[in-house]
Amino acid sequence: MNYNYVIIRECNPGDNISVNELVRNAYLSNVSYSWWNAITKEITFQLIVLSAAVMFIFMGVPLPYCVLSVPFVLILIYLSIYSSLLMKAMEVTSSKRPVMSWVAEVYEPYFNANSPEKCSYKIIDENRLMYENFEVKKYRRRIIGTVAVSRHIQDEDVAWLFKLAVESRYRRKGIGHCLIQVVQNWSRRNHYNSIQLAISECQEYARQLFTDCQFDVKQLYHKPIFGNALALQMYHLEAKLDKPNI
> What pLDDT score was predicted for residue 1?
46
**Which residues is 26 bridged to in the sheet?**
none
Residue among 34, 149, 144 nearest 86 (CA): 34
- Whether residue 198 is contained in a domain is answered as yes
> What pLDDT score was predicted for residue 139?
83
- Whether residue 246 is contained in a domain is answered as no
Distance of CA 168 to the CA centre of its chain: 10
- Whether residue 180 is contained in a domain is answered as yes
- Whether residue 245 is contained in a domain is answered as no
Q: What is the pLDDT of residues 230-244, one digit of tens each?
A: 677 899 999 999 866
> CATH number, domain at 188?
3.40.630.30
- Whether residue 50 is contained in a domain is answered as yes
Residue among 81, 63, 108 nearest 232 (CA): 81
Domain count, the chain: 1
Domain extent for 194: 4-240
pTM of the model: 0.85
- Whether residue 122 is contained in a domain is answered as yes
- Whether residue 132 is contained in a domain is answered as yes
Q: What is the pLDDT of residues 83-110, one digit of tens each?
A: 988 988 888 888 778 999 999 999 888 7
The mean pLDDT value for 136-158 works out to: 90
Element spanning 238, H or E: strand 230-240
- Whether residue 69 is contained in a domain is answered as yes
